[in-house]
Amino acid sequence: MTVQPILSRSVLALAFAGLLTIGAKAQDPTPAPAQPDVKSDAKDIRQDKKDLTNDRVDRNKDQRDINKDRRDLRADRKDRTADQRDINRDKRKLARDDAKYGINSVQAKADRKDLTGDRKDRNTDQRDINKDKRDLRADRKDRNKDQRDINKDKRGLRRDRKDLHKDNQGHR
């Protein structure tokens, strides 16, 4: 037996095995991660960080507005209470002056005028209170929406970081 047919069959078998290996590698079901996917994940992470920063700024601004509205509301309630106290005092004084000097006396007319002015002040303060309550409600609504946006952006950021980590693991 000669060496040439054995050698040619060995070379042929090695070539066939090589072709089978290359074919199996080409049909591998796990695709290699693409470089643009890593870039897009990094871009998404940067965008999520910017969104997160802007949402935090908005939330903090809304919280400052809430604090200001609460201060205004407290001050208006104090004013309204003081005006109501003045109204009660003027009513007592008017009743005394009516009894002492008569209904159409100068003192009674002055007390009625004071009473009218105090009622106007009280009603104005009540309108301010109602406006401050509306503002407070709107600011709280905005702040809560901004907080939900922050939470959503955090979830997106975590997801993008996870994707980036997964893509980077595939390159090794």
Nearest Cα neighbor of 143 from 59, 61, 64, 65 is 59
Query: What is the rounded distance in angstroms from the CA atom of residue 51 to the CA atom of residue 39?
Result: 18
Ramachandran category for residue 34: left, alpha or beta (phi over 0 → left; psi -120 to 50 → alpha): beta
Domains and CATH numbers, the chain: 42-170 (1.10.287)
Rg of the Cα atoms in the chain: 41
7-29 residue pLDDT tens:
777 877 777 777 667 776 666 55
Q: Read off the pTM.
A: 0.63
List CB contacts of 117: < 8 A, sequence separation 6 or more: none
> Please, which pLDDT band fits residue 172 given cuts at 50, 70 and 90?
low
